[in-house]
Structure 1
Amino acid sequence: MKGHIRERSPGKWAIVLDVGEPDPITGKKKRKWHSFAGTKRQAQAECARLITEISSGAYVEPTKQTVGEFLREWMAFVRPTVTPKTHQRYAEICEKNLGPLIGDVALAKLKTDKIDAAFAKALTEGRRRAGGGLAPRTVHHMRRVLIKALGQAVTWDRLSKNPAAATTPPKVERTKMLAYDVAQTAELLEAFRPTRMFMPVMLAVMCGMRRGEILALRWKDVDFANGSISVRESAEQVGTEVRYKETKSGKTRNVAMSVTVLEELKRHRLAQAEEQLRIGLRPDEESFVVAQADGRPLKPVSLTHEWTRLLARTGLPRIRFHDLRHTHASQMLSAGVHPKVASERLGHSTIGITLDLYSHVMPGMQADAAAQVDAALQAAISASRKSK
């Protein structure tokens, strides 16, 4: 394998590579031409790199496809393999974040330094409307999506290696966990009792259920005899459409109900049946536990809007509806419930997720554990001394 460089104009070079044997009829050499901008030494280094790639079989034929064009192709490719919500998120990141930064760059010329520069720009001036930079967590998601997309480019032989894999990830600070204490939880339940949001709030703060799980819950999933709820599905909204899918962990889990939740659900079912019968509906086991007055299921976005509106009427700190799940978890662990039990109740795939998310509750538990061990040890020492 041979190659050489030719200067076309100051700082502009043509890299000429001889590939294969000369044509047996014409005697002309088969060549590949590459354009390069830089110094003569840099052009020579690039020529040597290309020769090495061709010799080792790692060479990828240059394409004029831009990063933006490739991302659109990739989005169409992954659509059947991901959930609609995930695809929507990918599309937002590719079109609104990555596209304006590197969409016009030729895919074959995309390098790690260009991607790092694009991420740095996003952190300082990435907001299109309000100005300022994007949150590090958003840039972190951009990086993950780009790594996934360019990994496919490598598989398709559009790139020899993934330039996004070597980029420097932004430092993402852990979001402070927000949760109500026991007194605030009691105040919350009393404030929401007269509203249609009472039962969703009760299921979130007393059972640790996710928003989508609450809205997918049907009466057939509530076992009054054994005092448990079977969490089988989750509601997911994309645009105005809602679909029901398997839970986040992919498994059905059983959540034990306290006496309070059990009695409130019985009261709620009776009130809901009376309300629907007045308009000619006959609820059955397939009916949704949380529903509109006409029996139709509530949409996730509608629940969030109603939560925000009603919470603003109270004097309680403003938190997300999802933070009610954190409230349940924190109160369980603070009360001494074993993390394994809490993990199963919350539907985490591993106990490590529970311990990582709620490590802020652990110091108090550790202090209690240390005190209990110390008390047991001191009692044993005292008993040993008395027996002598």
Structure 2
Amino acid sequence: MPKTSNVYRDKRNGSWYFVANLGTDAGGKRVRHWGRGYKTQKDAKAAYDAYMADFSKTAVKVNSTMSFGEFFRTYWVPDYKARTRESTFAVRSQMARKRFARWDRCRLRDIDAPALKRWQNELVSAYSPSYARSVYGYFAMVLDMAVKLGLLRANPARTVGNVPKARREVDFWTRDEFERVAATFDTSEYYGLHGFTCLWLLYMTGLRLGEAQALRWSAIDFGAGTLSVSCSMYYRNLGDWKITPPKTKAGKRVIALDSLTLGYLSRWYDVQQRNICSDFVLSRDGSPLSKHVIGRIIERHAPMAGVHRIRVHALRHSHAALLISLGENALAIRDRLGHEDVKTTLGTYGHLYADANRGVAARLDAAFSPSGGQPVGSPPNPSDTPEPVGNVAKDV
């Protein structure tokens, strides 16, 4: 029978009981509550959950000696796990194990602004601003719950404030760079064609990696020229993966495909189906595409093309940069990438519109300059001014 946190079996009579850890008293002694005599493990777990829920409304408000680690494991983890994506929870859990250890035995009431500021400075010195901001922001979220439950009067992490958000220049391949990489593949060979198809699909659609891993042939309508995104994939390893909803509600979308991409996908379908049996578009061996494969493809072919290496997610940035260079507006790019809000699109790619702005000026010139005639709105030639008729007084 799988183990359940805080629930145990009494070896003497076979019944089940739970132990609720409630922090420490004023003297530093650990405070616990036992609930005994349950017939099943499930009953004991339900009783534990009910007790802790009631405790959060009453006793927790007067208990100010609980450690951060106890609070994190007892209150935060179950709540956060229930309301967030599994992949997000896994990433945040790993982050907490590595970065929150220093606070584990510290009582919540002893966590103050000066100590947090010193920690924040250490994070900024040791890691990138974006990672330091992510770690500190997650810690602040945990303390927000402590405030909500009455363990803290105020959140000292909010008093200090998070690491300032640094503007990052997104990395991407230009159209010329991508074409140079694409030219390095031997598409007459199975694995060469597979690698080419992987990079081409991500570059020309802006799919997230998880969306591309979960993409099935049934989602591509060759007649209508569209690709439907309705799911993603949480991939840990070959034996541990699952289909999940898209990252956001806007992630469910239909992407129009160009004729060249449709042709390449059709060619890959014929070759793939002659070699393996798989519903997944990017499968090369019958299993879902490993999350590491495309990174290795880039690592191998970028030097062959003489271009800089990029991360897999940068192929999505490259697609957005391509669309901006072609004059597409932010709303169209938002819909194609599956962003929830156009602010996300502009916040990430707004700086790329600088060059596009010069194109706007050129198009305005063309729009208001009819061929063979005088530009609309230009000052009239003095010689074309008509003579006054009669005795007309000038307005003053």
Per the normalisation by structure 2, the TM-score is 0.73
Structure 1 counterpart of 2:272, one-letter code? Q
* Structure 1 position 142, deviation (Å): 1.5
CA deviation after TM superposition for structure 1 residue 64, in Å: 2.9
For residues 43-122 of structure 1, the aligned pairs below 5 Å read 60-73=61-74, 74-100=76-102, 102-122=103-123
For structure 2, the residue ranges without an aligned partner over 5 or more in a row are 1-24, 28-59, 370-374, 386-396
Question: 2:48 matched to which residue of 1?
Answer: none
Q: Is the 8 A contact 1:61 1:158 kept in 2?
A: yes
Post-superposition CA distance 1:262-292 (Å, at most 9, x none) = 111111111111112xxxx4x5xxx010102
Tell me what 2:144 maps to.
151
Counterparts of 2:275 and 2:237 in 1: how far apart (Å)? 29
Whether the aligned pair in 2 keeps the contact of 1:84 and 1:238 (CA below 8 Å) is: no
Q: Please name the residue that 1:246 is paired with.
A: 245
Give how far 1:146 is off: 1.3
Question: 1:204·1:324 contact (CA, 8 Å) conserved in 2?
Answer: yes
Q: Assess if the C-alpha contact under 8 Å between 1:62 and 1:108 holds in 2.
A: no
Kept after mapping to 2: 8 A contact 1:189/1:198:
yes
8 Å CA contact 1:233, 1:247 repeated in 2 = yes
1:336-367 CA distances to partner (integer Å, 9 max, x unpaired)? 12222122111112222222211222112212
Q: 2:175 aligns with which of 171, 182, 188?
A: 182
The equivalent residue for 1:299 is: 290
Rounded to whole Å, the distance in 2 between the matches of 1:77 and 1:342 is: 35
Q: How many residues align?
A: 316
Mapped to 2, the partners of 1:351 and 1:205 lie a distance apart of: 21
Aligned position for 1:23: none
Residues 289, 342 of structure 1: alpha-carbon distance in 2 compared, 3 angstrom cutoff: same
Q: Give the conservation status (yes or no) of the 8 Å contact 2:207–2:316.
A: yes
CA contact (8 A) 2:237 2:290 kept: no
Structure 2 residue aligned with 1:381: 377
Residues 197-221 of structure 1, C-alpha deviations (whole Å, 9 max, x = no match):
1111111111111111111110110
State the SS of the aligned residue for 1:336. Answer: coil
Query: Secondary structure, in 3 states, of the residue corresponding to 1:165?
Result: helix
Map 1:1-388 to 2 at 5 A. Answer: 60-73=61-74, 74-100=76-102, 102-124=103-125, 133-194=126-187, 195=192, 196-238=194-236, 241-251=240-250, 252-276=252-276, 281=277, 287-293=279-285, 295-377=286-368, 379-382=375-378
Q: Which amino acid aligns with 1:357?
A: T
Cα distance, 1:87 vs structure 2: 1.3
| Partner SS for 1:237 | strand
Change (3 A) 1:171 1:106: same
Distance 1:120 1:170 in 2: 9
Which amino acid letter does the alignment assign opposite residue 260 of structure 1?
L
Identity, in percent, stands at: 23
CA deviations 1:82-127 (Å, max 9, x no partner) are 2221112221222211222x22321122122221122112333xxx
Change over 3 Å in CA distance of 1:92–1:69 after alignment to 2: same
The Cα shift of 1:384 comes to 6.3
Shift of 1:323: 1.1
Unaligned runs of 5+ in 1: 1-32, 36-58, 125-132
**Take 1:72 and 1:90, find their aligned partners in 2: how far apart are those partners?**
13
Q: What SS is found at the alignment partner of 1:254?
A: strand
Q: Note the alpha carbon deviations across 1:26-48, whole angstroms, 9 max, x for none.
A: xxxxxxx989xxxxxxxxxxxxx
- The answer (yes or no) to whether the contact 1:71–1:94 under 8 Å persists in 2 is no
Rounded Cα–Cα distance in structure 1 between residues aligned with 2:292 and 2:95? 21
Distance 1:182 1:122, change over 3 A: closer
- Check the 8 A contact 1:66/1:105 in 2, yes or no: yes
Task: Provide the C-alpha distance between the structure 2 equivalents of 1:180 and 1:191, rounded to a whole number of angstroms.
Answer: 15
Q: Deviation at 1:145?
A: 0.9
Superposed CA RMSD = 2.6
Cα separation, 1, equivalents of 2:130 and 2:257: 36
